[in-house]
Copies of this chain bind each other. A is one copy, B any other.
Amino acid sequence: MSSGDGFRGVIAPVLTPFGEDGRADAERLVEHAKWLLDEGCTALAPFGTTSEANSLSLDERRSLLEALIDGGIDPARLMPGTGMCSAGDTINLTRHAIEAGCGAVLMLPPFYYKGVSDDGLFAHFASVIDGVGDDRLAVFLYHIPPVAQVGFSLDLIARLREAFPNQVVGLKDSSGEWSNTKSIIEAFPGFCVFSGSEATLLDNLRAGGAGCISATANVNARGLRAVFDAWQSEGADDLQTGATALRLAIQKYPVIPLLKAIISAQRRDDQWAATRAPLWPLDRQVAFEAMDLLEREHGFGIGHRRAA
B-binding residues in A (CB < 8 A): 22, 49, 54-60, 85-89, 92, 109-114, 116-117, 119-124, 126-127, 146-150, 276-280
Contact = CB atoms under 8 A, between A and B. Distances in A.
Contacts of A120: 277-280
A121 B55 CA distance: 12
Nearest to A276: B87
B54 A277 contact: no
Each complex incorporates copies of this chain amounting to 2
A111 B113 contact: no
B58 A116 contact: no
Contacts of A57: 86-89, 92
A86 B277 contact: no
A109 B55 CA distance: 11
A278 B58 contact: no
A59 B85 contact: no
> Which 9 pairs of residues, A with B, have the shortest CB-CB distance?
A57-B88, A54-B112, A120-B278, A123-B277, A124-B277, A116-B278, A54-B85, A120-B280, A57-B89
B280 A110 contact: no
Contacts of A60: 86, 88
Contacts of A89: 57-58
A57 to B, nearest CB: 3
A85 to B, nearest CB: 4
